[in-house]
Amino acid sequence: MRVLTVQELTRHIKTILDEDYLLNNVWVKGEISNFKAASSGHFYFTLKDDSSCLKVVMFRSRSRNVLFRPENGMSVAVRGYISIFERDGAYQLYANEIEPDGTGALYLAFEQLKERLRREGLFDQKNKKKLPLLPRRIGIVTSPTGAAVRDMVEIVRRRWPGLEIILVPVLVQGEGAPLAVARGLQLLNQLDGVDLIIVGRGGGSLEELWAFNTEVVARSIFLSKIPVISAVGHETDVTISDFVADARAATPSAAAEMAVPDKKEMNRYIQSIITRLIRAAREKVREGRIRLEICRASRIFTRPEENISGTRQQSVDFLKHRLLQGARGTVKREESRLAALAARLQALSPLATLARGYSVCTTPYTGRVISDAREVKIGGRLAVRLHKGLLQCIVEDYIN
């Protein structure tokens, strides 16, 4: 009897499983538990039902194509192949595809992203930017071919001839479309003078419109400093871009009509305003003339002397009283000011200095003030003024 090693037995079982046609491409239905999205991009989870469980691994090359976010408790169907993980000796399902049970993957991905962005506030009305009344330059992010771009350009030029249009041609479906649309929005935000952006495409299936349901496009619209109109598909098509954009148009053609006013209608509207203003001004002038005639015919103008009595006399008396009060107040203020000046003048007066015991010596004839003893001779005469009285003196001697 041959005795097998664990490795030999494991590899034998693996070979049997790998060669089983049914197990090479099998769909398995169950509930997700222990879900883990590794930093490498791989998905690891357990698929279980009421009585059994199965380990599942989905490598990054496959998981990046999953549109929705798997979650614990979610009922799904997984397609893949059964094989042995030799290290643990355990069989597991290597998943190639995963679908939500009971609803489409695209629909589930749409609802998950919509709810997440709603919680973040990307749909809030307070974040919506107002569309300009008359943009000078419009940017359009769409496919360069097809009816949608032709219709938008034609309608804009018809409604406002000469308005500048900047077309950013991008992929609108397929694997590279989301990033292309996002970059188109970013490019227009880097240009000067762009007042409004239209982003969208013509109609198509849910898969064909999917670029406008991706997170990268939604966040690019939200981060745009320029107002954005979303115009994706037909009126019944609703995308994540519609919720994030500052305005949603049912179709690309409707977006073009929303973006710019009709020049002829605008001219008619302006002319109607001018007409109403002229009519209102004429009516004001007419009313003013009528009031003027009424005033001219009134007694206040025909017999003005009759009005200078009664109430008018009271007004005159009141003004007279106020005038007298003002005059008295002015006199009092001036008296106070003069008294203050007199006090300052008295303090600076030489007489005040004499009153404090000082005297002033002058020559008797010229009145020149003597400040130095050497200015007089012995035997000379001096007049000495005191606070009260004057002394006539003869100099007998002086001391330096």
pLDDT above 80 (res 350): no
Long-range contacts of 88-93 (CB under 8 A, 24+ apart): 89/6, 89/10, 90/55, 91/13, 91/17, 92/54, 92/55, 92/56, 92/57, 93/26, 93/28, 93/47, 93/54, 93/55, 93/56, 93/57
Question: pLDDT tens digit string along 15-27?
Answer: 877 777 788 888 9
Cα 265 to Cα 152, 160, 179, 249, 260, distances in angstroms:
19, 10, 39, 21, 11
- Residue 318 falls in which region: left (phi positive, over 0), alpha (psi -120 to 50) or beta: alpha
Least confident of 146-150, 262-266, 351-355: 351-355
Highest CATH level, class, for 111-261: alpha beta
Q: How far is CA 150 from the centre of its chain?
A: 34
Pick the CATH number of 6-102 from 3.20.10.10, 2.40.50.140, 3.20.20.240, 2.60.120.260: 2.40.50.140
pLDDT above 60 (res 35): yes
- At residue 48, φ and ψ (nearest 5 deg) are -135, 160
CA separation for the pair 90, 77 (Å, rounded):
21
CA separation for the pair 382, 60 (Å, rounded):
126
Residue 306 pLDDT grade (very low, low, confident, very high; cuts 50, 70, 90):
low
Question: pLDDT tens digit string along 182-216?
Answer: 999 999 999 999 999 999 999 888 888 999 999 99
Can you give the pLDDT at residue 3?
A: 81
pLDDT above 60 (res 367): yes
Can you give the pLDDT at residue 262?
A: 87
Q: Which two tokens mark 363?
A: 């020559």
Can you give the pLDDT at residue 379?
A: 84
CA separation for the pair 162, 33 (Å, rounded):
61
Q: Which two tokens mark 241?
A: 């871009």
Q: What is the pTM of this model?
A: 0.57
Q: How many CA atoms lie within 13 A of 39 on its CB side?
A: 0
